[in-house]
Every structure is written in C-alpha cells, then in structure tokens.
Chains A and B, each alone.
Chain A
Amino acid sequence: MVSAFRCRSLSKTQAGYTVTELIVSTAIFSSISLGLLMGFTSLERNYVATSDFSLNHADEMRISDYMAMDLRRAIAVQSAKNDTTIFIPAYYDQTGTPQTPALDGQGGVFYGASGSSVRIHYYLMAGTIYRQQDSAPAQPLAVNVQDFVFDVTDAGKVVTTRITFNPTFNSGGASAAATTATAFYNTTLLRNSRTDIQSSVY
C-alpha cells in the first residue's frame, strides 16, 4: 500500500503540469519571445538607420568641407544641382611646387600664366560624388550616395552649399520633411576677386 501510494504520488508529481498549464505557459513564453524579437528587430533596424544617418552625415560634412575649401580660394564658380565647377588660381606648377605670384597690372595678382586657372569639378554619378581636378582621375568623395543632392547657390561674394539625403528610419521611405531635416548648409565667403563676375576681395 505504502509503496503503491508512493508510486502513484510520484507519477503525479512527474506529470507536473496539466495541458492548460502548458498552453498558458507556452502562450506566455511565446508572447515574451515575440516581444523580445520585435524589440530586437526594431533596435537592430534603428541601429542600422542611425548608423546610416551617421555615415551620411559624415559624408555631407566631408563634401561640404571639400567644396568650402575650394570656394574660399575660388576665382570663378559655375553652379548647378549635383554638378558644380570651381576655378582656383594655378598656385602650383607642374611639379606641385607653389609658384611666385605676378602683378596683373589691374591691382591684382596671378599665379602661373596670366589668365590660367585650375578647374575643379564636383559631380554625382552612379551613386558616387566625385571631385575632379582638371583632367586628373576623378576622386570619389562619397560612395553609395545615390540619394544625395547637393545644391550650390551662388550669391557672388558668398556661395552657399546645401546637401541632403534620404534617411532610412521609415521602411516606407523618407518623407520630404525628413529629407529636408538632413540639410547640411555651408556659406562660404570667397576670398579672391572673381574673374567671372564683378566682385571685390574680402
């Protein structure tokens, strides 16, 4: 009796849970797991979007700084959307050594041959923004930037660059407002007199 009772009692303990208990516990486990999965997926997506935003922002900053550097020393500018050409003095000779300036007879100076300049071309092509100096190979400034737009507004003595991209926080694509919010502005004072329009030195 005692032994039989013990056996029955033990098997009851081993059976442990009822079907109802199992269903409830599985449901709770599934809910928690689903919640965790969704949470992690969301975190991961957010991380990717943030990382992407951060990389794009660094790209914006780099492109802007490159253009500002050239604009500061520019003597002429031809601006268009995603395609801007800046002309700077021919400061270096063919070996890359700085040249001594000469007077132009009009109160200014020039480097190299009179009327010469170096052409720097910024353009977006096949998802890459390039900087090309004269006929040298184009140098990629930022890759995978097919959604980038750089606009250059030429106001004569100052030139403003505006760069935007499409952030990836929304799976349905970036809204116009979200794209506008990524705008990176840089207003640059042109230090030299321009040769293409009437302007003064700063």
Chain B
Amino acid sequence: MLRQDSTKTGSVLVWTILVIAMLSLIAVETLRLVTVKYQNALQTSTWQEALLAAESGIDLAIVELRKSLYPQPNHAWEPPWGNPPGNEITSHDLTTVPNAGLNGVPMTIETSVDAPAQLIDPTNSWQYYRIRTVGTIPITGPARTSDNPQDTKLRRLSLRWERFTNGILTPHLLTAPQVSRRVEAVVRPVSAFDQAIMSVGVVDLTNQNIVVDSYDSTDPTKSTNGLYDPAKRQENGDIATDGQLIEAGNAQIYGDVATNAGTVSGAANITGIERTDFYQQPIPVGAPSWSTWNSSPSLVTGTTTINADATKGSAASRYTLSSISLSGNKTLTVAGNPNGSQTYIEIYVTGDISVSGTGQIVVQPGVTATIYFAGNVDISGNGVLNSNNQPSDLMLYGIQPPTDTSEHVSIGGNSQITASVYAPGHDVTVNGGGTNGHVYGSVVGKTVTMTGVSNLHYDERLGATGMVNNYKIVSWFEDNR
C-alpha cells in the first residue's frame, strides 16, 4: 500500500513541477518584455518632458525681455541672470523646477540669451534676440538602452555620458542617467502699433458708418504715393482687446478681431476671423528721463515755433512743456529743415494738450515728431497737420497716469489726422463729428471708442516702427545632435 501511494504522489509531483516550470518561464519572459517596454515608455515620457523644460526656458527669456521694456526700475536681467544680453554678451540663467509629473524629479532649465550684431534690423535698428535653452531631466530606473537602436538614435539619452559640455559638443561622464533637449529660438520685437486698434478694456465701435481697414505706405501695390488709396484697401485692420468685449456695432472692419476669452457683438461686417485667445498686457509708458533739453519755451498757449534737429535724441531736439493750449487761429509749428531733410523732435508735455477752433499743431515736412503727454489730450477740427502724411512721423505716447486716475484722449470733429496714438492708460475716443473723419494710423488705449462717421486706416508699416511692446518668436529649432 505504501509503495503504491508513493508512486502515484511522485507522478503528480512531476507533473505539477513541470506545469509550474512552464508557467514560470512564461511569466519570466512576460515580465522581461513588460519591464523593457515599461522602461522604454518611461524614458520616452522623460524625453517628452525634457522638451517642455527646454521650451519653458524660451518663456523665461521672453519674460525678461518684456520686463526690460517697462519703465525703470523694471528689474530685468537681475540675478540669477547675468548682464543684459548684447552682442558678445550672453545672459545666462539656470532654473530648477520640481516636475510633479515624474515623481518630483527636478527638471533643469538652462537658458542663454544673446544679441548678435547680424540680428539688428537695419530699417529700424531693432535688435532680434537669440535664445538657446537646454531642458534636462534625470532618468529614473536603470541606465539601460532601448531594445531598438533607432530609439536610442532618436532620443539620445545620456545614460553614461552627456554629449555636451558647456554648450560644446564634447562628452563628459555622468553620475546618473539623464535626458537633455536643446532648442534655439529667435525673437523679434513687436511694435506697440501692431494692430489698427488695441485696447486694455472695451473697444466700442458704435455704428455701421465706421470703417477700419489698412494700407501699406511702403508698398505701391497697397498704397498710392505712400498714401491710403481706397482702391488698394487691405484687410489687416485688426482690432484686439486684452479685455472681454468688442462692441463692433456692425462697423465695416476689414481685418480680424480678437478678445481675451471674450465676445464680439455686432460682428456682421467683419471680413476676417474672430479669435478669443488674445493676451497682451500693453507696456506702460514712463516719463522721459532726459538730462538736457531746450529750456524754452516751457509752455505753449499762442503761436509758437519750435525746431527739430537732425540728430535724433540730441538736447536740441528735446522740449519739455507744461501744456499746449491752442485755440482760435493759434499755431504751434514744429519746424524742420527748409529743404525737408530728415529731422527729429521729442516733446514732453507734463500737462494737457488742447487744440480747438482753428488752432493747429503743424509738423513740417521731414520732421519725425514724438510727443509724450502726461495729461489729457483734446484735439478737434483739423487740430493736427502732419505734413509728411505718414503716421510713423507723428507718434503720441500717453504716460501711464497714477492708479485710480482717469485721463483721456479725444480726437474729434470733421477732421483728418495722420498720427499714431499709444495711450494704454487713457480712454481714447475718436469722434467723427461730420462726414469726413479720417484717422490714418493706429490707436491703443485703455478703452477705445469710435463714434459718428469715423474711419481708421491702419498703415501696416507701423508694425515695424515706434515703441517696442513685445517679443515674438520668429524661428524655432530643436538641435538634436
């Protein structure tokens, strides 16, 4: 009996061991396969995250560039950044951010910004900046290569060696595996006059008699003799608000409209597209910090002539006035060279500007005038004569008023004005009092309202002139050496 039982048990035992062995083999092979694939997936996700880190570096650099546009003290390029970027000067920043998506491993964002001389636009002297970033994330798990060599070639994981040392393609030994991705972007300055109308708050175009369109004074196919020609009308009369509302009033808008997650009402006559993804905080204008300027006149209330100068930014080309107040037939003449050659003038008005009746500010041929104003502006009738007929030759900048102060710019009457207005702290109104109200240029305000029969013709050339208000990426390249 004992011998028989023992034999039967032995047979079952052999079978059991055999089955368990086979199942174990399958389990081990499955586990091996799954582990390899898990490792591959983990490395891939780390590689993807490293790109996010690298692109964050571009954002960090643009934040500093934008900061540098603010009035002083703007705290741009402060430590840990180095010197402000320039030709042969690279500003460098190293930021470490915990990455919640990958078990809290720290991702490192290394950013370098420089300003090569060949990236200066000769037409307006604007500097483009080159931003180079490296996003690095440690690889959790063993330093094991993928089972497919093409994965290794694509992702270039640094398991034992890092390919770059101080930005140069020279490998160095690592203590722990990591993955790095490198991106180079070039950003260009964006003009404060990048749109026909831009507002911090509401844009209100009150009726269908209003027309907003565009032309390009530098392109003979889009203008005639550098002037607006309705037969060559362009559809880049874009309107944007950093707020939530554009009351389009069924106005004739030859361009796009954009809000910051807001709505557009009365949009029946808009030729372009409607977007809700606009976000741009206009850079406030600070008071000029000149050390020297013309001491006379200090105030303009009667007929006066002030002279522009051939040297831009010279003391002779700068004036500080407490106010300009012209009524009746009083005229402020901004005189240039009699031969009409290029001259410049900057006027800082610490108070209000008021032109009424037949009073007028006359900008003579060849003069490029920039007027900064701290108070209100009221111009009616044909209050401003820009002899060049180019809005880029007469720019009005509203200095940011103190908080809780309400200031305004009002351009009105049956008039024509060729100028660009940038006053993001002022409520701007264009009043078309008659049947022939035309503004050639661009308007930026805290709020912008157009009434009556008023036409705004945006000169696309303004997109490359005036104050820099932002930076925009114009080139992006991932360096995957």
Residues on A facing B (Cβ under 8 Å): 36, 40, 43, 47, 51, 54, 58-59, 61-62, 65-66, 69, 72-73, 88-89, 91-92, 96, 98, 100-103, 107-109, 111, 139-142, 191-193, 201-202
Q: List 21 A-B contacts (CB under 8 A).
A: A36-B19, A40-B22, A43-B26, A47-B29, A51-B33, A58-B148, A62-B151, A62-B154, A72-B476, A73-B476, A91-B477, A91-B479, A101-B119, A101-B186, A102-B119, A103-B128, A107-B464, A107-B474, A108-B188, A109-B475, A141-B150
Give the CA-CA distance A159 to B476 in the complex, in Å.
Answer: 16
**B478, A109: Cβ atoms closer than 8 Å:** no
Check B116–A100 contact: CB distance below 8 A. Answer: yes
- The residue on B at minimum CB distance from A201 is B473
A103 touches B479 (CB 8 A): no
Give the Cβ gap from B159 to chain A, nearest Cβ, in Å.
18
Q: Which residue of B lies closest to A89 (CB)?
A: B477
| Nearest chain B CB to A79 CB, angstrom units | 20
What 17 new A-B contacts, CB under 8 Å, besides A61-B44, A107-B188?
A40-B22, A47-B29, A54-B33, A62-B154, A72-B476, A72-B478, A91-B479, A92-B481, A98-B479, A101-B118, A101-B119, A102-B119, A109-B474, A139-B150, A191-B476, A201-B472, A202-B476
Asked whether A109 lies within 8 Å of B151 as measured between CB atoms, the reply is: no
Name the one of B19, B30, B44, B119 contacting A109, with C-beta atoms under 8 angstroms.
B119
Residues of B in contact (CB 8 Å), total 38
Distance in Å from the Cβ of B221 to the closest Cβ of chain A? 15
Across the interface, do A140 and B116 meet the contact criterion of CB distance under 8 Å? no
Q: Are A88 and B477 in contact (CB under 8 A)?
A: yes
Given the known inter-chain contacts A61-B44, A65-B44, A101-B119, please indicate yes or no for A89 contacting B475, CB distance below 8 A.
yes
CB of B303 within 8 Å of the partner chain = no
**Which of A98, A139, A141 meets B184, CB within 8 Å?**
A98
Bound together, the chains give a CA A101 to CA B130 distance in angstroms of: 9
Residues of B within 8 A of A141 (CB): 150
Measured CB to CB, the nearest residue on chain A to B22 is A40
Enumerate chain B interface residues (CB-CB to A < 8 A).
19, 22, 26, 29-30, 33, 37, 40, 44, 47, 116, 118-119, 121, 128, 130, 147-148, 150-151, 153-155, 184-186, 188, 464, 472-481
Sort A-B residue pairs by CB-CB distance and give the 7 closest, nearest first: A191-B476, A109-B475, A108-B474, A109-B186, A73-B477, A91-B477, A201-B473
The answer to whether A54 touches B479, judged by C-beta atoms less than 8 angstroms apart, is: no
CB contacts (< 8 Å) of A61 on chain B: these are 44
Contact status B154-A96, CB under 8 Å: no
Residues of A within 8 A of B150 (CB): 62, 139-142
Q: Are the C-beta atoms of A54 and B478 separated by less than 8 Å?
A: no
Q: How far is the CA of A139 from the CA of B154 in the complex (A)?
A: 11
Which residues on the A side are within 8 Å of B474 (C-beta)? 107-109, 193, 201
**Which residues of the partner chain A approach B481 to less than 8 Å between Cβ atoms?**
92, 96
Q: Is there an interface contact between A103 and B26, defined as CB atoms closer than 8 Å?
A: no
